[in-house]
Amino acid sequence: MAKLTEEQRQQRAAAQVRQQALAAEEQDRQDNERRETWAREGMRLTWDEFEAGEPCRGCGKPMCDRLGSWSPLMKLSEGERREYEAAEARFKEEHPNCRSIRWSISGSRVSHCSQCCPPPPLEPQMVRKLAGFFAALPSEEEGKENLDVWDLTLTCDHVVSRSQHRDNSYVSARVIDCPECGERRGVVQSVRVGPAYTDEATQADRAAADPDRLASELAAAQEKLRREERKAEVTRRRIEEIQEQLKPNS
């Protein structure tokens, strides 16, 4: 087999990344459809319904059977192991094609499928804690000097800018909203552009304090320029092709 050239390796790697982004986009679409179905059909339990012992509206089994969590496999008695294996066999028979993760509640032996079963409700105390946590987060205005802009290339080939804290070394989002398409699209590539806010005094302080970071930002900006130049070159060639086609036959 002939050895791949460097260009061919890069093309293959780019194709794999794009396929992964398309797969993430499809998974996100399915997840959103599932959540919409749960909301439309009223499948989620309220906290009061959960506390009253109402069964899961996805599979009909108890949300929590209160039999206690399974012990580690090595510590199961012979009878408990048979019971565990029977439960495993039933679950696989009931969810042969779900290809989804499971979830269960502490103190219960019932396994639920994330594809079929809406998650349990949060207890009111946890909701209050989360609300307090998010309320205490600094606003974007307060922390703007710590934000960097990233350019995200999506599966639709549109480029969307996204700001996040400078301590992040990559963009974790695999799917985001594309304002041009009006659809959620997979992220194919993310490139750090530089500071979201370019206050001159702040930039001067950063230059003195962190030259390595500025060098990284410079490299990211240069990479963005190269990508824009490549796009311009593709457009130029296409214009020349159209002009050539429009010439009358000699």
Share of the chain above pLDDT 90, in %: 58
Residues 44 and 90 in one domain: yes
Residues 104 and 164 in one domain: no
- What does the pLDDT look like over 126-166, one tens digit per residue? 999 989 988 887 776 667 888 899 999 999 999 999 998 88
Q: Structurally, how many domains does the chain consist of? A: 2
Give the span between the Cα atoms of 45 and 112, in whole angstroms. Answer: 14
Residue 182 domain-assigned (yes or no): no
In this prediction, residue 212 has a pLDDT band, given cuts at 50, 70 and 90, of low
pTM of the model: 0.66
- What does the pLDDT look like over 71-86, one tens digit per residue? 998 999 999 999 999 9
Domain limits for position 239: 144-152+159-168+189-246
Residues with Cβ within 8 Å of residue 69, at least 6 apart in sequence: 104, 106, 107, 108, 109
